[in-house]
Amino acid sequence: MSLLSSPAVRRALRLTGYILLTLLVYWINAVTPPAARLGILYIIPVLLVTWTEGLAWGIVFALVTTGLREAIAWVWPWRDSRPCDGGKRRWRGWSFRIRSPTS
């Protein structure tokens, strides 16, 4: 029990739990359909880390989770588009129309 009473060990265990929670959110976001838009769930580990470990750790986790979210977006950049959308494409919130050279 004296091992768990050490503040350094408890902090390491908390950070490990937050990392596992972040990876769980990443996995859930990767396996769900694009219409679910679960990227907002990355805020949960960031808030928990900021609350318990301070602003510096919160900024680190915010940058890491932003990278994970962008990794998902770049793997499937057209995942918001429909096959029969009349030439209109959506890419990460921006929509534009594909035109032929004659139009």
Rounded CA separation 26/85 (Å)? 29
Rounded CA separation 55/60 (Å)? 9
Per-10-residue mean pLDDT, the chain, length 103:
81 93 88 79 91 93 88 63 48 51 55
Write down the pLDDT at residue 1.
59
Phi and psi, residue 6, nearest 5°: -75, 130
- Domain residue spans of the chain: 7-77
Write down the pLDDT at residue 70.
83
Contacts of 76 (CB under 8 A, 6+ apart): 34
